[in-house]
Chain A
Amino acid sequence: MSSELLPHTLEAHPVTGMYNGKFGVWLFLASEVMLFGALFSAYILLRTHGDFPSHKETLLDYRFGALNTFLLITSSVTMVMAWASFKLNDPGKGKMYLWITVILSCAFLFIKIKFEYLHKIHEGITPSYSTFYGIYYCMTGLHGLHILGGVVVMLYFLTVGAGLWNKNPHQFTNRIECTGLYWHFVDLVWIFLFPVFYLL
């Protein structure tokens, strides 16, 4: 079985300066910007039109939000460390950092679900309570799904997909880089979500 790679699967294209996968992820992120952009626009329109709660009221506990912000930013750092380690041909260290990233994101999800969602639902504050909580559940929930997706991808590279490192370390490192791009974007979305829902 001969298997040849398509052009620019590994090497960067001279014009765009990216290999296929990286370019693809950037385009995907552009569409993600439009997805979350539409939701932020919806938030603005609901806030200016509807009977949104006054911004002085403390609706969400900012301490959980701040802790989660810290966790996600740290996970972004460990994600870069993982990619750098693979790039420096140190798969052991790379895997360690990838595991730390997974653990940090699981902690994020745990706090989000256990101390925020379930707590609010227990108090009777469900998505239908008001448009504020509706858009809050919707946007943070969609963001949470993105986190979950990232965790699944990382776990894949740590387990089933780990064999690619032995076959083609270059391609494996590229895939970690693409995962990292996605991960930083997901963090960035949270950087916007935190002030919008917890502080403003």
Chain B
Amino acid sequence: MSSDHHAHNPGFISKYVFSLDHKVIGVQYTVTSLIFLFFGFSLMMIMRWQLAYPGESIPLVGGWLGKYLVDNNGVLLPEGYNALGAMHGTIMVFLGVVPLAVGGFGNYVMPLQIGAPDMAFPKLNMASYWVYFLGGVTMLAGFFVPGGAANSGWTSYPPLADIANTVGTHPFWNGQTVWLLGMVLLITSSLLGSVNFIVTIMHLRVKGLTMFRLPFFVWAQFVTSFLLLLAFPPLEAAGVLQLMDRAFHTSFFMPEGLVVSGVVQDQFAGGGSPLLWQHLFWFLAHPEVYVLILPAIGIVGEIIANNTRRPLWGYKTLVYSVIFLGFMSFVVWAHHMFLTGMGTAMSTFFQTTTMIISIPSVVILTALLLSLWQGSIRFTVPMLFALSFLPMFAIGGLTGLPLGLSASDIQLHDTYYVIGHFHYVVAPGTIMALLGGIYFWYPKVTGRKMSTFLGHLHFWPSFVFMNTVFFPMFMVGLAGISRRLWDQTEYVQGIDVQGWVRMSSWGAWALGLAQIPFIINFFYSAFAGKKVNENPWKATTLEWAAPSPPPHGNFAEVPVAYRGPYEYSVPDAKEDFHPQHVPDSQLV
């Protein structure tokens, strides 16, 4: 908890592997989660082949996927399709986006932005990364256990998940059980992280940095940490209960006398409730949506203020909206369950709260849009990503409204419309913002800028293909195609929309190719990028007061904050930005 994190001349292992420095841990998180993101995306590229060309052998990789995923001809099996789908969701959310947004950006940028020498608990920070790593390895191990990986969807709904992967496999080393173990590790990791974040933000701010002088990104991380802290434990409880169901045949989620494929499930005593899982799961998973979004909104706020050379429009409004959003996210969970038969009174309540939570979301988006008004916008690469976030996140948010109303949800529930909706929020929304964040803070981490040419080569195709992938899903969903079908052309309406499905698939593969310039840029620029000073974007917040890359302990001398975070274009000033750490006397 203390002391030796400033030890001099540490060896390679303690400097880069088991490091206690928040910056090294942040980079570890970033690189690991980017790898997981690409891996999770690759699973989807395989699934998209089966959807676009049902029953045809998968080209290139078909022969390599193993007997749990494909048959002898390299055609994706239905069980394999389900496994890829479940693992795609799990990996993207829990191993990709959250660790990147919170573990990566939060760890690296947040302590610098509050002027702290490190996180409050460096050892806890290291533990949090390694538990996450272990959780990731456990998740991936699912592909190699008998019977293959978990295939009950990323939501793991029982009774299906209670009995899945059990016949003819190892009683313990099977896909769903390994999934649960991995989940428990990942929850533990984010719990350690969130405690650390909250204490750091409350206790380690430098002198003068009051709560309302915090950069918006820090506020976003602060609220996110509370969501992680309070929403994850119920899923841990649910995971333990499902583990008990699977390993010891308790029946928390098993009703009595269930018959599956002609087999009476009498290994369970019965008396449980499948709905219990859904309540516990969504109590986590709805706040989780905001865990995915809020850090991204924070990043977009930083980039927009810096590149419009204007203060963020309505800083306090933004902060209050984020706090309200965080609070409300705990009372909307059952809008995922309108069609479970939980009753119309419950539906009405959760429909109402869902409509209320859309208000702060719209306020945030409007404030960010208004921040562009009358700005002298610099179209840098990070700014392009931030700008593309706004309309695409808006599409994601607004298409959610019909899902939040219990009447229109009857038509849309569990169709591709839902997939299109939440992917617009998380992929063209959050992931674009996170990529922008990488371009934005890369000079701080490496002391070098990423190539602008490769950045454009990355941005424009990504922007086009993100929409090519996800927009057709709305059409497919409105045609009534269910989200978990292995071969939708078995239905008449599926044949009608096959063109849209193929467009989506080709978009996904093109999107994969569009990431190549980014991968090259990411590694190449670390050695050959243009060297920059400590504040290449002419930004105001404290992280730009530290050298690039910041040394151990971050700041040469402890900075003091003299003003708010976004003092751009101050009238009659010599420079168009007033950094937080420079006293007034040195500005005039």
Known A-B contacts A42-B237, A129-B269; the reply to A3 vs B6 at CB < 8 A is yes
In the complex, what distance in Å separates the CA atom of A20 from the CA atom of B123?
A: 13
Q: Is A169 part of the contact surface with B, judged by Cβ < 8 Å?
A: no
A131-B203 in contact (CB<8A) = no
Whether A128 touches B269, Cβ cut-off 8 Å, given contacts A6-B118, A15-B202, A138-B240, is yes
Q: Is the pair B191, A31 in contact by a Cβ cutoff of 8 Å?
A: yes
Interface pair A7/B230, CB less than 8 Å apart:
no
- The answer to whether B224 has its CB under 8 Å from any CB of chain A is no
- Residues of chain A within 8 A of B234, CB atoms compared: 34-35, 37-38
In-complex Cβ contact of B1 among A9, A13, A38 (8 A)? A9
Which of A1, A34, A39, A131 contacts B271 (CB under 8 A)?
A131
A65 to chain B, nearest CB (A): 21
Residue from B2, B118, B240 having most chain A Cβ neighbours under 10 A: B2
Chain A's closest residue to B202 (CB) is A16
Binds A, one of B246-254, B331-339, B534-542: B246-254
Query: Could you give, for residues 204-248 of chain B, a 1 whenever the CB lies within 8 Å of some chain A CB and a 0 otherwise?
Result: 100000000000000000000000011111101110110010001
Count, chain B residues at interface, CB 8 A = 53
Pick the contact of B202: A13, A37, A129, A171 (CB < 8 A).
A13
Q: Is the interface of B mostly helix, strand, loop or mixed?
A: helix
Q: A35-B234, A46-B252 are in contact. Are A8 and B204 (CB under 8 A)?
A: yes
Question: Which A residues, 115 to 166, have Cβ-Cβ distances below 8 Å to chain B?
Answer: 126-131, 134-135, 137-138, 142
Q: Which B residues between 317 and 367 are near A, CB-CB below 8 angstroms?
A: none
Residue from B2, B122, B249, B275 in contact with A171 in the complex, judged by beta carbons closer than 8 Å: B2
B412 located at the interface, meaning its Cβ lies under 8 Å from any Cβ of chain A in the complex: no
A13 to B201, CA, bound (A): 12
The segment from B74-82, B145-153, B192-200, B402-410 found at the interface with A is B192-200
Among A3, A30, A31, A128, contact of B251 (Cβ-Cβ < 8 Å): A128
Q: Is the CB of A131 within 8 A of B252?
A: yes
- B9 closest partner in A (C-beta): A1
How many residues of chain A get a CB closer than 8 Å to chain B's CBs? 47
Contact A38 B249 (CB under 8 A): no
A189 to chain B, nearest CB (A): 13
- Min CB–CB distance A25 → chain B (angstroms): 9
Contact A45–B276 (Cβ < 8 Å): yes
The reply on B120 being an interface residue by CB < 8 A is yes
The verdict on A50 contacting chain B, using a C-beta distance below 8 Å, is yes
In the complex, A2 has a CB within 8 A of chain B = yes
Q: How far is the CB of B254 from chain A (nearest CB, A)?
A: 9
Known: A6-B204, A134-B250, A134-B251. Contact between A1 and B8, CB under 8 A? yes
CB distance from A33 to the nearest CB of B (A): 8
Contacts of B283 in A (CB 8 A): 38
B250 touches A127 (CB 8 A): yes
A23 contacts chain B at the CB level, 8 A cutoff? yes
- Whether B273 and A128, one on each chain, are in contact in the complex, defined by CB atoms closer than 8 angstroms, is no
Interface residues of B in 1-41 (CB under 8 A from A): 1-8
B272 nearest CB neighbor, chain A only:
A131
Query: Which residues does chain A contribute within 8 Å of B250, judged by CB atoms?
Result: 127-128, 131, 134, 137-138
Is B577 at the interface (CB under 8 A from chain A)?
no
Q: A127-B250, A128-B268, A131-B269 are in contact. Are A21 and B1 (CB under 8 A)?
A: yes
B385 at interface by CB-CB < 8 Å = no
Which residues of B lie under 8 Å from residue A1 when comparing CB positions? 4, 7-8
Using A6-B120, A13-B203 as known contacts, say yes or no to A31 and B276 having CB atoms under 8 A apart: no
Q: Is B434 an interface residue (CB 8 A)?
A: no
Chain A residues lying within 8 Å of B417, measured Cβ to Cβ, are none
Residues of B close to A31: CB separation below 8 A: 191, 194-195, 229-230, 232-233
What residues of chain B lie closer than 8 Å to A114, measured between beta carbons? Answer: none
- A92: CB under 8 A from chain B? no
Q: Once the chains are docked, how many angstroms separate the CA of A29 from the CA of B165?
A: 35
Identify the closest chain B residue to A9 (Cβ).
Answer: B2
In the bound complex, do residue A27 and residue B198 qualify as a contact, i.e. CB atoms below 8 Å apart? yes
User: Which B residue sits closest to A34, measured CB to CB?
Assistant: B233
| In the complex, residue of chain A having the shortest beta-carbon distance to the beta carbon of B1 | A21
B280 CB within 8 Å of chain A = yes
Q: Are B1 and A20 in contact (CB under 8 A)?
A: yes
Say how far A138's CB is from chain B's closest CB, in angstroms: 6
In this assembly, does B117 line the interface, its C-beta being within 8 Å of a C-beta of chain A? yes
Contact B251 A131 (CB under 8 A): yes
| Chain B 280-311 near chain A by CB (<8 Å), digits 1 or 0 | 10010000000000000000000000000000
When distances are taken between beta carbons in the complex, the residues of chain B under 8 Å from A21 are: 1, 121
Query: Do A3 and B248 touch across chains, with their CB atoms under 8 A apart?
Result: no
B residues 107-157 touching A (CB-CB < 8 Å) = 116-118, 120-122, 124
Q: CA–CA, A138 to B252, complex, Å?
A: 11
* Residues of chain A lying within 8 A (CB to CB) of residue B244: 127, 134, 137-138
| Minimum distance in angstroms from B291 CB to a CB of chain A | 14
**Complex interface: chain B residues within 8 A of A63 (CB):** none
Q: Contact between B273 and A7 (Cβ–Cβ < 8 Å)?
A: no
- Are B272 and A3 in contact (CB-based, < 8 A)? no
**Complex contacts, B2 vs chain A, CB 8 Å:** 5-6, 9, 171
Residues of B within 8 A of A126 (CB): 248
CA distance A45 to B238 in the complex (A): 13
Given A128-B268, A130-B271, A6–B237 Cβ distance below 8 Å? no
Contact flags (1/0) for A40-69 with B, using CB distance below 8 Å?
A: 011001100111100000000000000000
What chain A residues lie within 8 Å of B240 (beta carbons)?
138, 142
Given contacts A27-B199, A27-B229, A34-B230, list 11 more A-B pairs with CB under 8 A. Answer: A6-B116, A8-B120, A16-B202, A23-B203, A31-B191, A31-B232, A38-B234, A42-B237, A45-B273, A51-B271, A128-B267
A-B contact pairs, 8 of them (CB 8 A): A3-B6, A6-B116, A9-B2, A23-B202, A30-B230, A35-B236, A49-B276, A142-B240
Q: 4 tightest A-B contacts by CB?
A: A134-B250, A38-B234, A35-B233, A38-B237
